[in-house]
Chain A
């Protein structure tokens, strides 16, 4: 009964994520077509789309990672169905509130809602309140879910076991910590800290909003809090996907399960700290920020790449190299996603170098790199999980007839759409411009290339959506 409930709620998460993904990609294509001068939106409308596109994307791929994590975690510990359900209900309510605040209330402060822009009288006061409450509802739902999953792990594993410290001194310890448990805990701690930063941020915004400005905030502190929250949650959701890969890659490939070793333990324990300092690279162009913090930003960003590359990526390469593997859609998506994730990471490291950031910050290089490790990394990790999840309960073996076509469309669309961002970024085209001034008119051609390529990517996603949703719906209406 418990497993059936978990299976069904996971199926609902998957359908909701894919539905919102198609909608959010469409908003993205509309933005690129507007920048290409093919569509002619009012700038405020463009920025409403941009705000909804960003927050929806961050939200859905975070919950996709969490839903996958929750489903697999049940193999090791008893998780709370109520927390999962509360998160689902709060997410649906939060997303509806967010969309109303933007599309009806015309709130358009961007997904980072950088203080003091959201509180300016540029849109109705009720829209500001609705937007802030939508973030609060999403935050509360996700906080409950995160704490509940951490508590589930800590009920079975002690603190030292959940961080796998016993693997440092003993090759075959009495209690083994599966890599999935270790990575889940590390990622959930990061998620928890980022959500707590969001809580503080929201309290400070509400305080200024409801005192009508008699209490005012410090913009530098608010910006640090914003990026601690925004960067960390975007980064940790990738790690939720990696936890799933550590668990499923070998299993789907018909290989022995991956085990925790001393270097996996060290790598992920260090990752916990490196990732938490990396958000500082968003502050490089604020010269009033102490220089020591700016340097920590560059070092933490560099250091965070080491465990990922030398342990996770290297392990995937070792697992595949000259090894007979049963290739199917999920493990192919995991492999391509890992490649996309690293390439996005290289783009990120280039931008996380202060002297490069001086000429790349807030150009299209920024969406270029984060769309690489999301659209061609994290999304593929979650799609891999969705494919695996939706087929594993079928009585007969599912044959994916259009596998090559779907993958080809994803790759061709993805490369074109990302190349348009990277080349435009290197050409100094700013991000978040509804229209380009005549001096930066080259941005229009790149936007058109981006829009057309994103349509190809969208076709692949719709094909995945139809197949996966069909199977998930069947699962929902059968026992």
Chain B
């Protein structure tokens, strides 16, 4: 998905740059008699209308795909509790007691079933970023002290998944990681 977004962005950037170069060139070759653009108010109106329609389309397509709504009605087949701290992740099948936190040695989640990660932090803000076996970021949520974020995912490919912290949390931020297996 990220690469499609990059291509989409690159195409738009080239089009915008081309418009600016074209407009600049038209100014260089303009003579004193040139009157510039005509009917600008009408053109401005059309431009605005097109933008509104395009953005409304984007909003209507993308909003239902927001992570809050996807799998919201499903009942998760497994719940994984996650407590983040400087600079580690604890993951457990059971609720984690903040006063005496402990984790399970390894975590397995079922393939093609909805699972829920209940993510919190024991100190500062962290982020629970899930990377697939090709090292592509596929899902994330913040880990905030005092709050539990519920992230629902359905893994379609079995394999080893890494977790990296995606919220700057101090000098060990870059080594903060964990993993789990999808079977």
Interface residues of A, Cβ cutoff 8 Å to B: 43-44, 47, 108-110, 114, 116-117, 120, 122, 218-220, 223, 263, 285-288, 291, 294-295, 298-299, 302, 305-306, 309-311, 314, 317-325, 327, 335-336, 338-339, 342-343, 346-347, 350, 353-356, 358-363, 365, 422-423, 425-428, 430, 432-437, 439-440
Contacts and interface: CB of A to CB of B under 8 A. Distances in A.
Contacts of B150: 287
A322 B22 CA distance: 10
A321 B174 contact: no
Contacts of A336: 20
Interface in B77-99: 86
A428 B174 contact: no
Contact of B1 (A108, A327, A346, A359): A359
A306 B55 contact: yes
Contacts of B5: 350, 356, 360, 426
B63 A354 contact: yes
Given A122-B171, A335-B24, A285 B34 contact: no
A333 B144 CA distance: 42
A311, A317, A339 interface centre (most CB from chain B within 10 Å): A317
The main secondary structure of chain B at its interface with chain A is mixed
B74 interface: no
Contact of A360 (B2, B66, B124, B148): B2
Nearest to A324: B30
Nearest to A347: B9
Contacts of A428: 2, 131, 135-137
Of A295, A314, A358, A425, most B-chain CB atoms within 10 Å: A358
Contacts of B129: 362, 430
14 contacts: A219-B144, A219-B145, A220-B146, A287-B150, A310-B51, A318-B44, A325-B30, A327-B27, A327-B28, A346-B16, A359-B1, A365-B2, A422-B9, A425-B2
Q: Name the residue among A285, A295, A311 with the largest chain B CB count within 10 angstroms.
A: A285
Contacts of A110: 168
A294 B68 contact: yes
Interface string B26-66: 11101110111100110110011001100100110011011
Interface residues of B, number: 78
Contacts of B27: 320-325, 327
The 10 closest A-B pairs by CB, nearest first: A426-B6, A428-B137, A355-B65, A310-B48, A362-B166, A354-B66, A287-B149, A44-B171, A426-B2, A432-B168
B37 to A, nearest CB: 5
B151 A427 contact: no
A125 B124 CA distance: 17
A395 B149 CA distance: 64
B170 interface: yes
Nearest to A427: B2
Nearest to A372: B13
A423 B35 CA distance: 42
Given A108-B171, A322-B35, A342-B16, A439 B62 contact: no
A299 B31 CA distance: 43
